[in-house]
Amino acid sequence: MEKETPIFELKDISYSYPNKLALSHINIQIYKGDFLAIVGPNGSGKSTLLKLILGLLPLQKGDIYISGNKINQYKSWEDISYVSQKSNAFSSGFPATVKEVVMSGLTKNKSLFKWFNKEDEKKVDQILERLNISDLKHENIAQLSGGQQQRTFIARALISKPSILILDEPTVGIDARHVSEFYQLLTRLKNEGITIILVTHDIGVVADTASQVACLNQHIHFHGTSESFKSLDEVSISKIYGHPVQFVDHQHERSCCM
Ligand SMILES: Nc1ncnc2c1ncn2[C@@H]1O[C@H](COP(=O)(O)OP(=O)(O)OP(=O)(O)O)[C@@H](O)[C@H]1O
* Domain contains 123: yes
Name the residue range of residue 198's domain. 8-257
Using one digit for the tens of pLDDT, what is the confidence trace for 117-143? 888 899 999 999 988 899 999 999 888
* Structural contact between residues 43 and 159, judged by C-beta atoms closer than 8 angstroms: no
The CA distance from 159 to 105, in Å, is 6
Segment 86-92 shows an average pLDDT of 57
Give the residue whose CA is nearest to atom 24 of ligand 1. 42
* Domain contains 111: yes
Is this prediction's ipTM beyond 0.95? yes
Order of strands, edge to edge, in the sheet holding 20-30?
Answer: 20-30, 8-17, 61-66, 69-70
Q: How many domains does the chain have?
A: 1
Segment 100-115 shows an average pLDDT of 75
* Domain contains 177: yes
The CA distance from 186 to 184, in Å, is 5
- Please report the pLDDT score of residue 54 as a whole number: 95
Region of 84 please: left (phi>0), alpha (psi -120 to 50) or beta: beta
Alpha-helical segments (H) within the chain: 46-53, 98-103, 118-130, 146-158, 176-191, 203-209, 226-230, 234-241
Q: Which amino acid is residue 245, in one-letter code?
A: V
Buried b (16+ CB within 10 A) or exposed e, 68-101: eeebeebeeeebbbbbbeebbebeeeeeeebbbb
Using one digit for the tens of pLDDT, what is the confidence trace for 12-49? 999 999 999 999 999 999 999 999 999 988 899 999 99
Upper half-sphere CA count for residue 95 (Cβ side, 13 Å):
0
- Ligand 1 contacts CB of residue 44 (under 6 A): yes
CA–centroid distance, 239 to ligand 1, in Å, is 20
Q: Which amino acid is residue 29, in one-letter code?
A: Q
Which residues have a Cβ under 8 Å from the Cβ of 178 and sit 6 or more positions away?
A: 147, 150, 151, 171
* Structural contact between residues 7 and 31, judged by C-beta atoms closer than 8 angstroms: yes
* Domain contains 1: no
Using one digit for the tens of pLDDT, what is the confidence trace for 46-70? 999 999 999 999 999 999 999 999 9
Segment 67-95 shows an average pLDDT of 81
* Structural contact between residues 221 and 245, judged by C-beta atoms closer than 8 angstroms: no
- Please report the pLDDT score of residue 111 as a whole number: 59
* Domain contains 2: no
Q: What is the CATH number of the domain that holds 187?
A: 3.40.50.300
- Ligand 1 contacts CB of residue 188 (under 6 A): no
Q: Which amino acid is residue 158, in one-letter code?
A: L
* Domain contains 85: yes
Q: Which residue has the higher pLDDT, 224 or 254?
A: 224
- Ligand 1 contacts CB of residue 19 (under 6 A): no
* Domain contains 39: yes
pLDDT at 256 over 50: no
* Domain contains 201: yes
- Please report the pLDDT score of residue 102 as a whole number: 93
Average predicted confidence (pLDDT) for the chain: 85
- Ligand 1 contacts CB of residue 45 (under 6 A): yes
252 pLDDT tier (thresholds 50, 70, 90): very low
